[in-house]
Amino acid sequence: MSTKSLIYVSFLPEIILGAFALLIMCVDPFLKKREKVFSTIISIFAIVVAFISNLLFLSRDASLITFNGMIYFDFYSNLLRGLFLLIGFLVSLFAFKYIEREDLFPGEFSSLLLFALIGMDLMAISANLIMTFIGLEILSMSTYILAGFKRKNLKSNESALKYFILGGVSSAILLYGISFLYGFTGTLSYRGIANVLSKGSGFIGSPLLFLGMGMILVGFGFKIALAPFHVWTPDVYEGAPTVVSGFMSVGPKAAGYAALLRIVFQIFPFTLPLWRELFVYSAILTMLIGNLGAIIQKNVKRLLGYSSIAHAGYMLLGIIAADVMGMSGIIFYLFAYLFMNLGAFGVISIFEGKGEKFVTIDDYRGIGFKYPQLTFPLSIFLLSLAGIPLTAGFVGKFVLFGAALMENHMGLVLIAILASLISVYYYLKVIVYMFMKSPIIEGEEIEVRYSGVALFSVLVCAFFVLYLGLFPSYLLNLSKEAVVFLGI
Amino acid sequence: MKTLLIFIPILPLIGFLLNGIFGRSFPKKLVHRIAITTTGISFLLAVITFFKFLSLDVESLVFNYFTWIKAGDFVANFGFLLDPLSMVMVLVVTGVGFLIHVYSIGYMWNDIGYNRFFAYLNLFMFSMLILVLANNYLLLFVGWEGVGLCSYLLIGFYFHKKSASDAGKKAFIVNRIGDFGFVVGLMLIFFTFRTIDFEKVFSEIVNRGYGVEAGWGVLTVIGVLLFIGATGKSAQIPLYVWLPDAMEGPTPVSALIHAATMVTAGVYMITRSNAIYSRAPHALFIVGLIGSITALFAATIGIFQRDIKRVLAYSTVSQLGYMFTALGVLAFSAGIFHLMTHAFFKALLFLGSGSVILALHHEQDMQNMGGLKKYLPITCWTMWAATLAISGIPIFAGFFSKDEILWRSYSTPVKGHMIFYILGTVAALITALYMFRLMFLTFHGKTRLPEDKLSHVHESPKSMTGVLVVLAILSTIGGFVGMPGWTKIPNIFENFLEPVFKFMPHKGIVHAVEGHSAGNELLVTLVSILVAGIGALIAYIIYLKKEVTPEKEENLGLIYKLIFNKYYVDEIYNFLVVQPIKWFSTNVLWKIVDVSIIDGIVNGYAYLTEGLSVGVSKIQNGFIRSYVGWIALGGIGILYYILINFIK
Amino acid sequence: MSLYNFLYLSSIIFTLGVIGVLVRRNVLIVLMSIELMLNAVNLNLIVFSKLWGNVVGQVFTVFVITVAAAETAVGLAIVVAIYRHKDTVNIDEVNILKW
pLDDT of residue B561: 44
pLDDT at A345 over 70: yes
Q: In 3-state terms, what secondary structure has residue A176?
A: helix
pLDDT of residue C94: 83
The pLDDT-based confidence of A146 (bands split at 50, 70, 90) is very high
Asked if residue A29 has a cis previous peptide bond (ω within 30° of 0), the answer is no
Instruction: Give the orientation angle of helix A300-321 with respect to helix A410-436, to 10 degrees.
Output: 160
Distance CA C45, CA C69 (A): 18
Give the rounded percent of residues in chain A with a pLDDT score beyond 90: 57
pLDDT of residue B304: 76
Contact (CB, 8 A) for B94 and B43: yes
The verdict on a CB contact (< 8 Å) between C67 and A133 is yes
pLDDT of residue A407: 87
The secondary structure of A444-476 as a DSSP string is --------HHHHHHHHHHHHHHHHHHH--HHHH
Q: Where are the domains of chain C?
A: 3-93
Q: Name residues of chain B where pLDDT drops below 50.
A: 508, 510-512, 514, 557-573
Q: Which whole number is the average pLDDT over A352-372? A: 84
pLDDT at A2 over 80: no
Instruction: Give the orientation angle of helix B265-272 with respect to helix B114-133, to 10 degrees.
Output: 10
Nearest residue to A260 (alpha-carbon basis) of A320, A305, A183: A320
pLDDT of residue A4: 74
pLDDT at A312 over 90: yes
The alpha-helical segments, DSSP class H, found in chain C are 3-23, 27-52, 56-86
CATH 3.40.640.10 fits C3-93, yes or no: no
pLDDT of residue B591: 59
pLDDT of residue B558: 45
Burial track B253-281 (b if 16+ CB lie within 10 A, e otherwise): bbbbbbbbbbbbbbbbbbbbbbbbbbbbb
pLDDT at A274 over 80: no
pLDDT of residue B567: 35
- Residue A325's domain comprises 3-486
Residues with Cβ within 8 Å of residue A383, at least 6 apart in sequence: A391, A393, A427, A431, B149
pTM (two decimals): 0.87
pLDDT of residue B560: 36
Q: How high is the mean pLDDT of chain B?
A: 84
pLDDT of residue A179: 93
pLDDT of residue A367: 83
pLDDT one-digit tens code per residue, A439-457:
766 667 777 888 888 999 9
CA-nearest residue to C17 within chain A is: A169
Distance CA A361, CA B223 (A): 40
C10, C25, C72, C78: best to mutate for the A interface, most A CBs within 10 A? C78
The CA distance from B628 to the nearest CA of chain C, in Å, is: 6
Q: How high is the mean pLDDT of chain A?
A: 89
The secondary structure of C37-62 as a DSSP string is HHHHHHHHHHHHHHHHT-SHHHHHHH
- Start-to-end CA span in chain B (Å): 69
pLDDT one-digit tens code per residue, A33-50:
888 888 899 999 999 999
Q: In 3-state terms, what secondary structure has residue B80?
A: strand
Distance CA A424, CA A246 (A): 20
Angle at B37 between CA B32 and CA B39, to 5 degrees: 100
The alpha-helical segments, DSSP class H, found in A186-323 are 190-198, 207-223, 232-239, 242-262, 272-295, 300-321
Contacts of A148 in chain C (CB under 8 A): 78, 81
pLDDT one-digit tens code per residue, A81-122:
999 999 999 999 999 888 888 888 888 999 999 999 999 999
DSSP state of B461: P
Q: Which residues of C touch A (CB under 8 A)?
A: 7, 14, 17-18, 21, 27, 30-31, 34, 37-38, 40-41, 44-45, 47-48, 51-52, 54, 56-57, 59-60, 63-64, 67, 70-71, 74-75, 77-79, 81-82, 85-86, 91, 94-98
CA-nearest residue to A285 within chain B is: B616
Distance CA B255, CA B234 (A): 14
Distance CA A394, CA B145 (A): 11
pLDDT of residue A25: 92
Q: Which long-range contacts (CB under 8 A, 24 or more apart) does A13-16 make?
A: A13/A50, A13/A51, A13/A53, A13/A54, A13/A81, A13/A85, A13/A121, A14/A50, A14/A118, A14/A121, A14/A122, A16/A46, A16/A49, A16/A50, A16/A53
B172 interface with A at CB cutoff 8 Å: yes
- Structural domains counted in chain A: 1
Out of C41, C75, C98, closest to residue A172 by CB: C41
What amino acid is encoded at B35 in this protein?
Answer: A
Residue A480 or A199, more confident: A480
pLDDT of residue A22: 95
What amino acid is encoded at A84 in this protein?
Answer: F
Q: Which whole number is the average pLDDT over A375-394? A: 92
Q: Does the ipTM exceed 0.90?
A: yes
Q: Give partners of B (≥3 CB pairs < 8 A).
A: A, C
Contact (CB, 8 A) for C99 and B616: no
Looking at mean pLDDT, say which of A128-132, A322-326, B296-300 comes out highest: A128-132
Looking at mean pLDDT, say which of A63-67, A235-239, B640-644 comes out highest: A235-239
Burial track B403-432 (b if 16+ CB lie within 10 A, e otherwise): bbbbbbbbbbebebbebbbebbbbbbbbbb
Distance CA B236, CA B601 (A): 15
pLDDT at A201 over 60: no
The alpha-helical segments, DSSP class H, found in A296-409 are 300-321, 324-351, 372-386, 392-406
pLDDT at A207 over 90: no
DSSP state of A212: H
pLDDT of residue B579: 61
pLDDT at A204 over 90: no
